[in-house]
Amino acid sequence: MRTQMQTTFVVHVNGRPVITHAGETVAAVLLAEGIRAFRRTAHRGEPRGVFCGIGICYECLVTVNGVANTRACVTTVAPGMIIETGGRP
Amino acid sequence: MNEQAELAVVGAGPAGIAAALAAAEAGVATVLLDAQGRPGGQYGRASAAADENVAQDGILRQLADSPVQVMTDTVVWGAFPTEDGAAWELALYGPRAPARLTARTLILATGAYDRPIAFPGWTLPGVMTAGGVQAFLKSQKIAPGRRFLLSGTGPLQVAVAARLVEAGAEVVAILEATRPGLRDVRRLLVLWGQWSRLAEGLDYWRALRAARVPFRLGWAVTEAHGAGAVEEAVICRLDGAGRPIAGSARTVAADTVAIGYGLLPSTELTRLLGCAHDFRPELGGYVPRRDAEMRTSRPGVFAVGDGAGIGGAELALIEGRIAGLAAARDLGRLSEAAAETAIKREQPGLARQRRFAALLSALFAPAAGLYALAHDDTVICRCEEVTLGIIRRAVADGAADVNEVKGLTRAGMGNCQGRVCGELIARIIAAETGRAGDPAAIQSAGCFTARPPIHPLPLETIARGASRQVGK
């Protein structure tokens, strides 16, 4: 069995191509890109980002490949993934 | 699509893995389910970039070598008795999961999550839980910020701070909200024998001293501020009841505030199944009632690990093993004598770990004042944006428990289903009725009724799996 090399590939963050590594979460990619506010709340339009980091609080919601309300902290990147932040339900 | 197993273990953290291994070793056909992409839970998080064939430690290695069928990326969103009452049906959601899994026996090992503490500005991006920071460091090998301020109670913060320093992040300070007194020295005798834990603690301590990270006893973050994200935090000295001391406030620049005030058990499935629960504040609140073999009040349902009461990874391993052995005996794979002998062997370790967990719990429970930092305009239910002021008005209008508050305000109706705001609202009810911090008052405020799905799901998932009407 050969050692798995750390694969890199491109995803799109708000329309911009970003190089990521296999196994990274969407949240990690966004934070590395300096994006801390992932969405705005429905009523007060307040910025929200990662809170619990383990997938139970549903704060870190972004749109992934067109699917809204996807938890960034438990979603792993895939080649060509389209990530959009700043949504407001 | 309905799969069958003798034993289904929900949650592949230390408790679940230990249970699955013990049962499988006795020959039980075991399925181990986890919502994450790999087993290990929060405690056993490995680097996402780890080589496939790198030797894994201990139980993860044993799991890989065992006949346990591991189903990752699988959320258990409901659990129901089968129509004939002889087995349990789990409702599943995941890319490779069948819609349903029927098992004669269930071992629930659903783990825990960080206790949320509310204060003005806590919803700003940049305020995270210590466990969340730890998850980033362990799995993603990055620090989720640059300049960290840690505020909380107990040893987890020290471990997180040490890892942050190792990752090259700046740790502005570690604020420990408690101030252990002399009477606690006697309690520390419980540490006798916990050599590896003490050694680990010492390592962290040395790393933090070398990095000159300030450590303050009796302080906490009371506010966070910033335009769009955290830029600075207010820290205060606390009195014996956890209340900020007037005039002690200082402002500290930070881009990330990590709050670590202990853990809360994930009891959605045990409550959904109708298991009897007791209010045990020292274990994190409402926890399933269990016997010496980790059985709940529902026949064929066991509960182990932090999900059944906060106690740490070592305790989780032992409880998991005991339940796995008992389940194997129930399923006829182990003789009474063999099971009894094996379970008896676990008792000294069980007692020792429970004593240690009780020590930590007693020393590091957040004082009542920490639950009263919010202002009237501070959001308490983050999902539905319900403020403290609105909740207070609901209590004044007669809401006596968290479900009544939910009915009046929508608090608890959002995506997280009350995981984050539940305990906070129970404590607000107690405080508003003049009994702040009183365990009896907090208990009577109750917890949100658990209803399926216990995680938000696409509607088609429920529609796809519906094959029959579930009668009364």
| A chain contacts of residue B383, beta-carbon cutoff 8 Å | 58
Interior/surface letters B328-338, b for 16+ CB within 10 angstroms, e for the rest: bbbbebbeeee
Q: How far apart are the first and last CA of chain A?
A: 47
**B125 contacts A36? CB cut-off 8 A:** yes
- What integer pLDDT is reported at residue B434 of this predicted model? 96
- What integer pLDDT is reported at residue B186 of this predicted model? 65
Task: At B385, list the tokens.
Answer: 């944006």
Confidence band of B2 (pLDDT split at 50, 70, 90): low
Exposed/middle/buried for B435, CB within 10 Å: 0-12, 13-18, 19+?
middle
**What string of DSSP letters covers B278-291?**
EEEGGGTEEEE---
- What integer pLDDT is reported at residue B185 of this predicted model? 64
Q: Is the dihedral of CA B455, B460, B465, B468 positive or negative?
A: positive
Q: Which of A1, A42, A43 sits opposite B53 (nearest CB)?
A: A1
Q: Give how far B350 is from chain A: nearest CA, Å.
A: 28
Q: How does pLDDT run across B7-46, given as a tens digit for each residue? A: 999 999 999 999 999 999 999 999 999 999 999 999 888 7
Q: Which of B127, B131, B385 sits opposite A54 (nearest CB)?
A: B131
CB pairs A-B closer than 8 Å: 119
**B420 contacts A28? CB cut-off 8 A:** no
ipTM for the whole complex: 0.94
Average pLDDT over residues B210-218: 93
Q: Which of A1-5, B423-427, B448-452 is least confident?
A: A1-5
Task: At B364, list the tokens.
Answer: 């590091």
Residues B186 and B201: their CA atoms lie apart, in Å, by 19
Q: Give how far A83 is from chain B: nearest CA, Å.
A: 18
Residues A68 and A84: their CA atoms lie apart, in Å, by 9
Q: How does pLDDT run across B430-467, given as a tens digit for each residue? A: 999 999 999 999 999 999 999 999 999 988 887 776 65
- What integer pLDDT is reported at residue A5 of this predicted model? 53
Residue predicted with more confidence, B78 or B193:
B78
- What integer pLDDT is reported at residue B466 of this predicted model? 60
Q: Determine contact, residues A9/A19, Cβ cutoff 8 Å.
A: yes
Average pLDDT over residues B293-303: 98
Residues B45 and B36: their CA atoms lie apart, in Å, by 10
Measured between CA atoms, the residue of chain A closest to residue B227 is A47
Whole-prediction pTM: 0.94
Residue entry with tokens 């009350």:
B418
Q: In this model, does residue B353 exceed pLDDT 60?
A: yes
**A38 contacts B416? CB cut-off 8 A:** no
Q: Give how far B387 is from chain A: nearest CA, Å.
A: 11
Q: Which of B113, B144, B383 sits opposite A50 (nearest CB)?
A: B144
Q: Give how far B421 is from chain A: nearest CA, Å.
A: 10
